Structure 1
Amino acid sequence: MTYEPATPVIEFRQVGLTYPGPPPVAALKPCDLTVRRGEFVTVVGPSGSGKSTFLNIVGLLDSPTGGRYLLDGLDTSILKDAERTALRGRRIGFVFQSFHLLPHRSAQENVELALVYNGSPHRTRRANAREALERVGLGHRAAAVPTRLSGGERQRVAIARALVARPALLLCDEPTGNLDTANARSVLSLLDELHAGGMTVLVITHDADVARRGSRTVAIRDGVLREQLAGIPAGGPEAL
């Protein structure tokens, strides 16, 4: 399937999710959102605001109970579970606060694992993993195991793993949450570089400094999603 450049990567049309009760809980109230190719969007909000629900819907981990979610123009609401899983593997790269690296596998092997289940030949997996590590500046550390890497290097390996399948969207959940200031700055600079290179980046964060890196910011509070037009308040996302 080909994707038109003008097609939004993410398009929410009155998407919402209500967990059944009693009583029912509207974790994400019906909302519209468009993220176009090449944007860097940050999503902020206090704990319990609905950020995790939003993340799970965007990442095709949960299905909305209302509305339509189009990913690269494809209506995900009509897909079966296996189709959703396959689409997620092809079109979305995930980066989490915890790196989720296998400790006894090298950096290259950890990146290769992202390609194991999509049928890529072994030789192709090796070449693509090395290319992804070079892209995040870690080609020289391909043979190192995670315990021999700094926190920032481990997160870069995780980002390489997310990029190796050439996704349409890089979806990051608190990507600097486990990093010290220097390593966080390094990872954020990498995200800036990826965005400058045309990658669509969406970052879920509670950190006001991280949120300001985005070209757009979306705020969620009490399950209500809205554009944050005036920037992040001085008190950070908790002040929204």
Structure 2
Amino acid sequence: MSRAAADAVIRLDGVGRSFPGPPPVTALHPCDLTVRAGEYLAITGPSGSGKSTLLHLLGLLDTPTSGRYVLDGIDTGGLGDRDRSTLRGRRIGFVFQSFHLLPHRTAEENVLLAQVYNRTPRPHRRRAARAALRQVGLGHRLDALPTTLSGGERQRVAIARALVNDPSLVLCDEPTGNLDSANAAAVLDRFDRLHDEGYTLVVITHDPAVAARAGRTVRIGDGRLTGPAAAGPAVR
């Protein structure tokens, strides 16, 4: 195995996704993509370009109809639903546009629940949740309900939830889409710091300003990935 392959968090080899008809629809044409550990990648494209299909495949929320997806050295193709769910919980942290926080749970409880689903031992959960919230600058808001937080603070709670299980990949779907410009800039600054700390970030966005913060950008249009490969192995 080459060093690039060994260091890859994501490796797609001819991965595509089609849906049966009539008529059949190809949402993602077979593509190759490599994302190395510690890389900050943006995937950008307009609505209907195939971004959501690619997100679902990368996040193990759906399975490809062609090709091979290796996540952090694990070939996901032969995994059953339970093993895919376990791998997703342990290796991927999600940050969504709409936050997806439980409104009647505190910031600490929202982060802690990500560990319950991941089967983290109970004595470790609260300590890890507090550490993750401190990591995003919210150590003073542990007991706050989402309804009392600003949009930027709610997104930072969501980022803490994504980080609490120490994932191999942080996968972000339009993470600034519900934020004003000031809060969006603050979240993107936070992503810069996470990248500096060595996290592997993949941000899916239609916003060129968000994509510009990444170290490398690939584009998707009509279900096809295109370059450029600005910082390492990308689309081949």
Q: What TM-score, normalized by structure 2, do the two folds share?
A: 0.94
Asked whether the 8 Å contact 1:107–1:146 carries over to 2, the reply is yes
1:113 is the counterpart of 2:113? yes
Where 2:186 maps in the other structure, the secondary structure is helix
Q: For 2:160 and 2:229, how far apart are their aligned partners in 1?
A: 32
Asked whether the 8 Å contact 1:11–1:35 carries over to 2, the reply is yes
Q: For 1:226 and 1:80, how far apart are their aligned partners in 2?
A: 31
Q: Which residue of 2 aligns with 1:68?
A: 68
Q: For 2:192 and 2:160, how far apart are their aligned partners in 1?
A: 15
Deviation track 1:197-235 (CA, whole Å, cap 9, x = no partner) reads 0000000001110010110001000011111358xxxxx
Q: Which residue of 1 aligns with 2:226?
A: 226
Q: Which residue of 2 aligns with 1:238?
A: none
Deviation track 1:168-202 (CA, whole Å, cap 9, x = no partner) reads 00000000000000000000000000001000000
Deviation track 1:50-76 (CA, whole Å, cap 9, x = no partner) reads 000000000000100000000011110
Q: Which residue of 2 aligns with 1:134?
A: 134
Deviation track 1:102-150 (CA, whole Å, cap 9, x = no partner) reads 1111100000000112222332100000000011110111111111111
Deviation track 1:72-107 (CA, whole Å, cap 9, x = no partner) reads 111100111111010000000000000111111110
Q: Which residue of 2 aligns with 1:211?
A: 211
Q: Which residue of 1 aligns with 2:97?
A: 97
Q: For 2:72 and 2:120, how far apart are their aligned partners in 1?
A: 22
Asked whether the 8 Å contact 2:16–2:29 carries over to 1, the reply is yes
Where 2:140 maps in the other structure, the secondary structure is helix
Asked whether the 8 Å contact 2:50–2:220 carries over to 1, the reply is yes
Q: Which residue of 1 aligns with 2:233?
A: none
Where 1:70 maps in the other structure, the secondary structure is strand
Q: For 2:118 and 2:191, how far apart are their aligned partners in 1?
A: 25
Where 2:27 maps in the other structure, the secondary structure is strand
Q: For 1:214 and 1:119, how far apart are their aligned partners in 2?
A: 32
C-alpha displacement of 1:46:
1.1
Q: Which residue of 2 aligns with 1:23?
A: 23
What pairs up with 1:31-42 in 2 under 5 angstroms? 31-42=31-42
Where 1:140 maps in the other structure, the secondary structure is coil
* Percent identical: 65
Where 1:139 maps in the other structure, the secondary structure is coil
Q: Which residue of 2 aligns with 1:157?
A: 157
Residue type of the alignment partner of 1:162: A
Asked whether the 8 Å contact 1:59–1:88 carries over to 2, the reply is yes
Asked whether the 8 Å contact 2:40–2:200 carries over to 1, the reply is yes
Q: For 2:157 and 2:117, how far apart are their aligned partners in 1?
A: 19
Residue type of the alignment partner of 1:87: L
Asked whether the 8 Å contact 1:40–1:201 carries over to 2, the reply is yes
Q: What TM-score, normalized by structure 1, do the two folds share?
A: 0.92
In structure 1, runs of 5+ residues without a counterpart are: 231-240
Asked whether the 8 Å contact 1:15–1:67 carries over to 2, the reply is yes
Q: For 2:181 and 2:220, how far apart are their aligned partners in 1?
A: 26
